[in-house]
Amino acid sequence: MLFLLQLLVGSFLISVTVIIHIMGIVGLIRLLSSWAPRLGPRTSYLGMLEILIMTVVALFLLHTLEIWAWAIFYMAIGEFADLHRALYFSTVTFSTLGYGDITLTDRWNLVSSFEAVNGVILFGISTAFVFAVIQKIYAAVAKGDGKP
């Protein structure tokens, strides 16, 4: 029964963080779309840099929010008494670094593997998004030069 509870809770938290991530990316797409008319063959180096920095920082903030969601959950179930330890554990787990210096009790240890899988999935989505933004910038800049 404990196994089933961990599966349900882990799945729920993954769902919550995926929703956060997708909503954030949709918002970022809307923001970047408003900048699209500025992209063209004469887009400056600083203009491209500005778009890429904004994209990476926004994605980093989304990951931070998702790590906080997991950390708050760990505190709510009593696994950690202070926010620092909960955030540290959540960050190490979400990033799949997994030092192992802090672990969850047997009652909730399976949930931490869900967080690691969650981090891999969301980092993959973020990486794909950054790549798509770079492709869009390249296509807009190269259009005027006859490049592919």
Answer for the pair 41, 145: CB distance below 8 angstroms, yes or no.
yes
Residue 71 has pLDDT above 60, yes or no: yes
Copy the structure tokens of residue 46: 């600083």
* Host H or E run for residue 59: helix 45-76
Q: What is the pTM of this model?
A: 0.89
What is the rounded average pLDDT for all residues in the chain? 91
27 vs 60: CA distance, rounded Å:
14
Percent of the chain with pLDDT over 70: 92
Every domain of the chain and the residues it spans: 2-145
What is the reported pLDDT for 42? Answer: 67
Amino acid identity at 103? T
pLDDT one-digit tens code per residue, 6-62: 999 999 999 999 999 999 999 999 998 887 666 666 677 787 888 899 999 999 999
Calculate ∠ Cα 102-94-75, nearest 5°: 55
